[in-house]
């Protein structure tokens, strides 16, 4: 996986940045960490009432025209689709387009989050992201 790092954008605001060029379609990060049922400021929603606290993923900021996306893959047990139970969810941060070295890695929060723990006014268009 590509080299990435958390950097300060401005006072008290951090972001995740590429330390090398990342080609479109490349996996940037596999989200790992504690799975929780309610959103926090730094969690990413990976399913119904399922959020993950990843040490680097929590620093990926929102953008309406992002360069990355969250791809969620679930594994199921059982052959009956009605009674099978979910056993494993993998969430990957994937480049939507080529990301240049030193670019901030962003994704659109509205593609994963049902409800944010801390709604905010989007810098892209000034609309409230809830």
Break the chain into its structural domains and give their ranges. 4-129
CATH number of 4-129: 2.170.270.10
Q: How confident is the model at residue 125 (pLDDT cuts 50, 70, 90)?
A: confident
What residue has token string 């969620």? 72
pLDDT in tens, 70-121: 999 887 666 655 555 555 789 999 999 999 999 999 999 999 999 999 999 9
Q: Is residue 67 a contact partner of residue 106, using CB atoms and an 8 Å limit?
A: yes
Q: Quick count: other Cβ atoms within 10 Å of Cβ 27?
A: 13
pLDDT given for residue 2 in this prediction = 82
Residue 58 per-residue DSSP state: G
Q: Which residues sit opposite 129 in a β-bridge?
A: 120
């Amino acid at each position: 996986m590509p080299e990435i790092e958390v950097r300060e954008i401005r006072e008290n605001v951090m972001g995740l940045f590429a330390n090398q060029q990342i080609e479109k379609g490349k996996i940037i990060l596999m989200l790992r960490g504690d799975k929780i049922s309610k959103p926090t400021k730094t969690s990413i929603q990976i399913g119904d009432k399922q959020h993950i606290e990843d040490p680097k993923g929590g620093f990926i900021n929102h953008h309406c025209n992002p360069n990355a996306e969250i791809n969620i893959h679930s594994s199921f047990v059982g052959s009956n689709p009605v009674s099978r139970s979910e056993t494993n969810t993998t969430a990957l941060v994937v480049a939507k387009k080529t990301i240049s070295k030193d670019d901030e890695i962003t994704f659109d929060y509205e593609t994963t989050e049902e409800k944010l723990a801390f709604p905010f006014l989007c810098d892209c268009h000034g609309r409230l992201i809830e």
